[in-house]
Amino acid sequence: MPLFSSTQTKLPPFPCSTLYPLSRSLSSVPTLKLRRLTNLPQPLRVRAIDAAQPYDYETHIKTHFHQSNSLKIAIFGFGNFGQFLAKAFVNQGHSVLAYSRSDYSNTAQKLGVSFYTDPHDLCEQHPEVVVLCTSILSTESVIKSIPFQRLRRNTLFVDVLSVKEFPRDLLLKHLPTEFDILCSHPMFGPQSGKHTWVGLPFVYDKVRIGDSGFRINRCKKFLDIFAREGCRMVEMSCEEHDRHAAGSQFVTHTMGRVLEKYGLVSSPINTKGYETLLDLVDNTAGDSFDLYYGLFMYNKNAIKQLERLDMAFEDLKKELFGHLHEACRKELFGHAKARTEISDDKEPARPRKLLSLGAQNGVLVNTITETEKSD
C-alpha cells in the first residue's frame, strides 16, 4: 500500500517556527538566512575569488629557463672594453653590475647595467661572476681593493687581460682559496669585434674551478656566452698563451705604432696591401699606450720578440744595401773591363768620364757625358 494516496491532501510548507521559534525575534536571524526563509530576492554578493586562474605554462617554462641559464655578472673597470663586453652580456639576458673609478652611470643606464660607485655596495649584491676589465698596470691595485668578505665564498673570478701569467699569479696570490679562477683573453676588441665575434678566438685557462656540479656549470655558462656569439673557443695554458701572444699581438701592436709614428696616410692610389696597413694603424692607435706598455712589461716573451724585430730590420737593410753595392760594382767595374778589352785589340778608345752616381726618386742613376751616350 502506498504511503500516500492520491486523495490525500498536500502537506503544508515546512513552518519557519521549526527552525526559529516564534519566541525568537526575527531580528536575530542572519539577513541571508532570513531572505532564504522568506523567499525574498537575494542580491549578488562576491565574498572571495577562489576559482583557479589560467596557468600560463609557456611563460613559466620561459622564466625557469631564463633563471637557470642567466648569470649575475659584476664588471670591475667599466671603460671601453668593459662596456663592450657588458653589451653582449645584457643582450643574452644576463644581469650585469658594474663598478669603475670614473662615473659611467649614464652609459650604464643606456646599456641596461646597474652601476655602483662603491665596490662594497656592488659586492653585497652577491654576483656569481666577477670580471676584471681593468688595465694591466692597475690590475693588482684593483684586486687588493675588492672587499672579498662581502662576496659569496665560491665566487668565480675571470680576468680578460691581454697577458695571462701575470694576472693568474696575482689572483692565486690575493684571492681566498675558496674562489674559482678563470683566466681568459678575448683576442678582439671594440674595433676588431664591432660588427661580429664570429670566428674570433677566445682563449681561456681553467686555473681553479671547484669540483661541485654548480661551480662547473657556472664556468660553462660563462664560456657559453662567447661560444653563442660564434667565437672560436681555444683552451690553452697561460704560459702557452703568452708565448704565442708575444709573437702575434705584441708584434702587431708594435708594427702599428711604428707605422703611426712614420706618418702613414692615405693616398689616391692605395693598393689593397696599403689599405691593410692603414687599417692596422687605425686598430692599434685606438688602444691606449698603457695597453701596449703592459704587453711589453708583463709578458716575458716580449723583449725577445722586440729584439727579433730589430734584427730582422737590420738584416733587411743589409740585404738591400748589399744588392745596391753589387749594382754599383757592376756599373763601375763593368766599364773598366770593357776598356781593357778594347785596349787589348789595339783600338782607339774614346774617353769616358763618370760624372756622378746618385739616386733620384729612389732609382739609381748613372750620369755620363754626351760622348758616352753615343757609345
Would you say residue 356 lies in a domain? no
Number of separate domains in the chain: 2
Would you say residue 49 lies in a domain? no
| CA 64 to each of CA 67, 225, 227, 284: distance values in angstroms, whole numbers, following the listed order | 5, 18, 22, 43
Do 224 and 75 sit in the same domain of this protein?
yes
Do 93 and 203 sit in the same domain of this protein?
yes
CATH of residue 217's domain is 3.40.50.720
Would you say residue 198 lies in a domain? yes
Do 100 and 73 sit in the same domain of this protein?
yes
- Three-class DSSP category at 203: strand
Looking at 211, 236, 261, the residue that finishes a domain is: 236
HSE-up of residue 312 (Cα within 13 Å, Cβ side): 8
Would you say residue 285 lies in a domain? yes
Do 137 and 265 sit in the same domain of this protein?
no
Would you say residue 302 lies in a domain? yes
Looking at 312, 342, 365, the residue that finishes a domain is: 312
Per-residue pLDDT of the chain (375 residues; tens, 9 = 90+): 454 444 454 555 545 444 444 444 545 555 555 555 556 566 666 565 555 556 665 655 555 555 567 999 999 999 999 999 999 999 999 999 999 999 999 999 999 999 999 999 999 999 999 999 999 999 999 999 999 999 999 999 999 999 999 999 999 999 999 999 999 999 999 988 999 999 999 999 999 999 999 999 999 999 999 999 999 999 999 999 999 999 989 999 999 999 999 999 999 999 999 999 999 998 888 788 898 999 999 999 999 999 999 999 999 999 999 988 888 888 888 766 655 655 555 555 555 444 444 444 444 344 444 434 444
Would you say residue 372 lies in a domain? no
Do 78 and 199 sit in the same domain of this protein?
yes
Do 206 and 300 sit in the same domain of this protein?
no
Question: Is residue 130 within 8 Å of residue 155, measured between CB atoms?
Answer: yes
Do 83 and 151 sit in the same domain of this protein?
yes
> Domain containing 305: what range?
249-312
Do 190 and 261 sit in the same domain of this protein?
no
Do 180 and 299 sit in the same domain of this protein?
no
Do 276 and 231 sit in the same domain of this protein?
no
Question: Is residue 133 within 8 Å of residue 82, measured between CB atoms?
Answer: yes
Do 82 and 226 sit in the same domain of this protein?
yes
Do 224 and 260 sit in the same domain of this protein?
no
